[in-house]
Each structure stands twice: as C-alpha cells, then as structure tokens.
Amino acid sequence: MRGIATHTQALTAHSSVAVGMKGATKAMSAMNKEMAPAKQMKVMQEFQKQYAQMDMTTEMMSEAIEDVLDDGEVEDETDELKNQVIFVKMFFREVVAV
C-alpha cells in the first residue's frame, strides 16, 4: 500500500511540475513575442550608430574649442598690447620727469 501511495504522490508531483512548466512556457513565449529580438537588435544597432556619431561630434567640438583657446595669435596680440602700454607709461614718465 505504501508503494502505491508513494507512487501516487510522485505522479501528482510530476503532474504539478508539468502544469508549472506549461505556464512558464506560455509566459516565456509571450515575453519573446513582446520583446521581438530582431526589433531589439535593430534598436541597439541604431543606438550604437547614434552614440558613435555623438562621440565624433563631441571630439570635433572639443578640437575646435582647443584651437580657439590655443591660438598663438591671441597671445601675440596680448603681448603687443602689453608692450604698447609699457611704452606709453615709460614715455609719460620721461615727459613728466623733463
């Protein structure tokens, strides 16, 4: 009798597992339909493309800003203006001293 009861319990357990697997299979199938792997791949590829384009744009903007800020011409103009101010000060000191 125990053998039959144990066997019956095992069959019930197996049946419950099978029902659970059936539910899990339905859920996974619904998720696969919802996620549409091909569509997700296309979205990810577009993201990669846009990210690469943004990276290039950022790099170009950084280089342009560096070029503007590192312009040696601006330094030369600043030095020239500073020298003119020093010359004028020295000139007025000599005029006042005379």
19-58 pLDDT, tens digit per residue, is 899 999 999 998 888 888 888 899 999 999 999 999 999 9
Record the pTM. 0.42
Q: Each residue of 50-89: pLDDT tens digit?
A: 999 999 999 999 998 888 777 666 677 788 888 888 888 8
Would you tell me the crossing angle of helices 37-69 and 2-35 to the nearest 10 degrees? 50
Distance CA 35, CA 48 (A): 19
